[in-house]
Amino acid sequence: MAVDTSDFKNGMAFNMDGEIYQILEFQHVKPGKGGAFVRTRLKRMRTGNVIEKTFRSGEKVDPVFIDKVNYQFLYRQGTELILMDLDSYEQIPVQESKFGDSAKFLKEEMEVLAIQAGDEVLGYEVPNFVELEISETDPAFKGDTVGGGATKPATLETGAVVQVPFHLKAGDVVKVDTRTGDYLERVKK
CATH of the domain at 89: 2.40.50.140
Is the domain of 43 the same as that of 93?
A: no
Task: Choose the final residue of a domain: 63, 93, 115.
Answer: 63
Is the domain of 34 the same as that of 57?
A: yes
CA distances from 95 to 20, 58, 78, 102 (A): 21, 40, 9, 13
Classify residue 21 as exposed, middle or buried by CB count within 10 Å of its CB (0-12, 13-18, 19+).
Answer: buried
Instruction: Determine the structural domain holding residue 163 and report its residue range.
Output: 129-187
Is the domain of 138 the same as that of 179?
A: yes
Is the domain of 33 the same as that of 76?
A: no
Task: Choose the final residue of a domain: 20, 40, 63.
Answer: 63
**pLDDT at position 189:** 57
Is the domain of 138 the same as that of 156?
A: yes
**pLDDT at position 174:** 93
Q: Using CA of residue 155, residue 157, residue 162, residue 163, what is the dihedral sign? A: negative
pTM of whole model > 0.75?
A: no
**What CATH code is carried by the domain that includes residue 21?**
2.30.30.30
Is the domain of 53 the same as that of 99?
A: no
Mean pLDDT per 10-residue segment, the chain (189 residues)? 88 90 92 90 86 92 91 92 91 88 90 88 88 86 61 90 88 90 83
**Which residue spans within the chain are E strands per DSSP?**
3-4, 13-16, 19-29, 37-44, 50-56, 60-63, 67-77, 80-85, 91-95, 111-117, 120-125, 129-137, 151-156, 161-165, 173-177, 182-187
